[in-house]
Chain A
Amino acid sequence: MLELRRVHAYYGRSHVLYGVDLAAREGEVVCLLGRNGAGKTTTLKAVVGLVDVTGGEILYQGRSLAGLRTHEISRAGIGFVPEDRRIFSDLTVAENLEVGERPGGTWTRERVSRLFPRLRELAGRRGGSLSGGEQQMLTIARTLMTSPRLLLLDEPSEGLAPVVVRALAENIAALKGGGLTILLSEQNVRFARRLADRAYIIEKGQIKFEGPFARLDADPSLRRAYLSV
């Protein structure tokens, strides 16, 4: 579904990714683990064309994304949920969803409301007045409205209360159950393990590990080297 081959990318003037290799198969949930500043967000942004990719290539359904602009990548079926949520705070919840809406798509307001019933109650509220957890739901729902086939989730659990994180995990598990391919970036290994089939570890812009969580658990030195703070 998605394949990154030796991708180099810059964030502003700083070289952040040094030849990242990564792949996600159809229907799979893959997790990208790593510390702050390791290159998780930049990897996801490289896929949707929000940072300058200077080397390597990114393939989606076998076709290169090079030269496509962000909105074209979105229309090709890749949905990106940013880490800092970026709700349109002056717009109502319903209007936030409307921006993502795509006529004829597989996701409708009705279907999104079934996944996040809370959003139906909040429909007329301003986005800026929502709590952190509600905003996280809204930002995921908004991206779902674009009817993606591949969802990139950037640290969805960050800054949320444990009870909210648990609810969010259920939502994401439901999406996985629906057959959506998901690339998840996380620092929260416990959260990631519940959802992901496979993990990558990124450190200083390079992939240091790739494999199932069982192999990650079997080797404590990996955790110490790349994940513990």
Chain B
Amino acid sequence: MSPSLVLIQLLSGLAHAMVLFLIASGLSLIFGVTRIVNFAHGSFYMLAAYLTYTLAATLPLGAAAFYVAVLLAAASVGLTGLGVEVTLLRRVYRAPELYQLLLTFALVLVVADLVKLCWGSENLTGPAAPGLAGSVAIAGQLFPTYDLALIALGPLVAAGLWWLFYRTRWGVVIRAATQDREMVAVLGVDQARLFTSVFALGSFLAGLGGALQVPRQALTNVMDASIITEAFVVVVVGGMGSLPGALLAAVLIGVIDAFGVLVLPRASLVMTFVVMAVVLIVRPWGLLGGPPAPQRTAAAAVVTAGAVRLPRRWVAAVLAVLIAAPPLLPTFHVWVLVEILAFALFAASLQLLMGTGGMVSFGHAATFGLGAYGAALLVTWTKAPMLLAFAAAPLAAAAGAALYGYFCVRLSSIYFAMLTLAFAQIAFAIVHQWYDVTGGDNGLLGIWPAAWLAGPLAYYYLALAACGGGVALLARIGRAPFGLTLRAARDHARRAETVGINIRLHQWLAFVVAGFFGGLAGGAFVFLKGSVFPNLLAVPMSVEPLVMVLLGGVQAPAGAAVGAAIYKLLDTVATKYTEYWQLVLGAVLILLVLVFPRGVLGVLGDRRA
């Protein structure tokens, strides 16, 4: 690589880094103060980009139109953020923090379809920035003038934000609230207004990033998903809530991206996640972040009573229906039921981590995918009998979970979540790129059950035994001394340690157990579909069980199963009747969160008590 090429790549990495910094600083700000993991941040970014596209074309302002459009788009997205906070998020602040995450996920679905409705699915090419449209020669190579302008703009925005946070009272209050919200309220600051202003500013920054991206890349319907993961990586690598950290990490990730494409095009997907994994293993709170202040909630001081236990009669009734009904159902419905069973177990295995263990994983797809691929690879390459491959699925996933879980359980909260995501992404990249073995994009086909199990009813009962049995076992584990120990570690780590509990060991074991059952679910799924593709390990597959657990209720595996059933049924019905199923699903999810702010079983359980 010639020196001039290196320089050009470096510059183009820096230009990307500046956009990343804008988005990541907004995300970090919102998380720092409100503790909301805002999945919708990428949607705001996308929305602003499309708005800029339309405004720049319609405003009758000549050369100024583009620049006015950028500011208008960012401002309206900031206002959208404000509206979302006031009308939706504010209603669920008293619910466990993760329910706000569920709400922002629903928004992702809604915005995605709204963008599709308004602007279509075709890629759009935005206008060039007037006055910055050409290129300049740098070391004999042409480099876009616009990117140079971005590189100059980045430090200006950073300085502006620094001034805001360190030189104004509002900024001081924000930084105080990042450490201890309750104390800020005690000192007379209205949290609701603080949250609203933070959400508006954070959304504005996302919008500005999206608007400025317009001259650089084509607008697509999936630009929200690609930016949100990257923004989370930047925030976590830099250290949550650290502005200089976000800047440093944005530069690091931007430059690595730029060179990755050049040096290792096949591995470019995964480079940033490898970097994140390494940073988190070496520095558990990111490059410039510090350990978060311990959470101060009343519940944190008291280990809550036993998990929600469903009345035996209910369980027996549901089981009776599950055994008796399928022979009466059309075949298609039986297959849907099998899929629900697999996802019920998948979600329940995540519930052990999230609910009982208090460890929120953003990468649980890895277990499902490892199980599915474990079985599929055995069948494809060794012609193993189906039942053997089926049994190998959970073992493969448990082995994988044991390996990466060893690193993950060393971290906590969002850092734990992001490291699980990193490992899931690494697994995804391996499966996706290793054509000779996994078939890459083409997947592995012809993974069918043994002949005597291939009929819908026979396979259904196998899935019921495996998945239903798995959920029951998980429920048993949650109530066993092992589950109680996990809960103690979740509610008060220091006290649990004081009474002699080896927290990391127990969390690691929980990770392996969750991996085992996640893999079993993956095994049940692969023989249902007869094929396996890399998307089983992709981000949406990690988000789905998360949504299911929250939807059903995080307190018990039964909640996860209920959530899985609701989500899958909604999904099946919505995709059947409308092209805009995301819009429908998102709207229903929003309603469900508002009506059941602690999950369906959580709220019903409270009513009974």
Q: Which residue of A lies closest to B184 (CB)?
A: A99
Contact A80 B175 (CB under 8 A): no
Q: Are A82 and B302 in contact (CB under 8 A)?
A: no
Say yes or no: is A14 at the interface (Cβ < 8 Å to chain B): yes
A63 CB within 8 Å of chain B: no
Q: Mark A23-56, 1 if CB is under 8 A from B, else 0.
A: 0000000000000000000000000101100000
Cβ of A5 < 8 Å from any Cβ of B?
no
B180–A88 contact, CB under 8 A? yes
- Residues of B contacting A86 with CB < 8 Å? 180, 183
Closest to B194 in A: A71
How many A-B pairs have beta carbons closer than 8 Å: the answer is 75
Q: Is the CB–CB distance between B298 and A71 below 8 Å?
A: no
Complex contacts, A98 vs chain B, CB 8 Å: 169, 172
For A48, what are the chain B residues with a Cβ–Cβ distance below 8 Å?
Answer: 186
Number of residues of chain A lying within 8 A (CB) of chain B: 30
Interface string of B275-292 (1 = CB under 8 A from A): 000000000000000100
Is B191's CB within 8 Å of the partner chain A? yes
> Contacts A71-B191, A95-B172, A98-B172 given: A80-B186 contact, CB under 8 Å?
yes
CB distance from A185 to the nearest CB of B (A): 15
Q: Is B301 close to A, CB under 8 A? A: yes
| A102 with B188: CB separation less than 8 A | yes
Is A11 touching B187 in the complex (CB atoms < 8 A)?
no
Assess the B179–A100 pair: CB atoms within 8 A: no
In contact, A70 and B185 (Cβ under 8 angstroms): yes
User: Which residues of B lie under 8 Å from residue A13 when comparing CB positions?
Assistant: 299, 302, 304-305
| Contact across chains for A71 and B299 when beta carbons are under 8 A apart | no
User: Smallest CB-CB separation from B305: which chain A residue?
Assistant: A13
Q: Mark A47-78, 1 if CB is under 8 A from B, else 0.
A: 01011000000000000000001110011000
Q: Assuming A11-B301, A99-B172, is B179 touching A69 (CB within 8 A)? A: no
If the complex has contacts A71-B190, A75-B188, A86-B180, are A14 and B302 also in contact, measured as CB distance less than 8 A?
yes
Query: Hey, which chain B residues are within 8 Å of A70, CB to CB?
Result: 182, 185-186
Q: Which residue of B is nearest A100, CB measured?
A: B187
In the bound complex, what is the Cα–Cα distance between A13 and B298 (angstroms)?
Answer: 8
Min C-beta distance of A90 to chain B, whole Å: 6
Complex: how many Å from CA A150 to CA B454? 76
Name which residue of chain A comes closest to B178, CB basis. Answer: A90
Is A91 interfacial (CB 8 A cutoff)? Answer: yes
Bound Cα distance from A46 to B10, whole angstroms: 57
Question: A11 contacts B176, CB within 8 Å?
Answer: no
Measured in the bound complex, the distance between the Cα atoms of B415 and A22 in whole Å is: 46
Contacts of B299 in A (CB 8 A): 12-13
Q: Does B173 contact A (CB under 8 A)?
A: yes
**Given the complex, which residues of A lie within 8 Å of B179, measured CB to CB?**
88-91
Q: How far is the CA of A146 from the CA of B183 in the complex (A)?
A: 13
* Known A90-B175, A95-B172; contact A100-B188, beta-carbon cutoff 8 A: yes
Closest Cβ of chain B to A46, distance in Å, is 12
Can you sample 24 A-B contacts with CB below 8 Å?
A: A13-B302, A48-B186, A70-B182, A70-B185, A71-B187, A71-B188, A74-B185, A74-B187, A75-B188, A80-B186, A86-B183, A88-B175, A90-B175, A91-B172, A91-B176, A95-B172, A95-B176, A96-B176, A98-B169, A98-B172, A99-B176, A99-B184, A100-B187, A100-B188
A-B pairs with lowest CB-CB distance, top 8: A74-B188, A12-B298, A70-B185, A100-B187, A88-B176, A12-B302, A86-B183, A99-B176
Residues of B within 8 A of A (CB): 169, 172-173, 175-176, 179-180, 182-191, 290, 293, 297-299, 301-302, 304-305
Extra 18 A-B pairs, beta carbons < 8 Å, given A71-B185, A71-B189, A86-B183: A11-B301, A12-B298, A13-B302, A48-B186, A50-B186, A74-B187, A89-B179, A90-B179, A91-B172, A91-B175, A98-B169, A98-B172, A99-B173, A99-B189, A100-B187, A100-B188, A101-B169, A142-B187
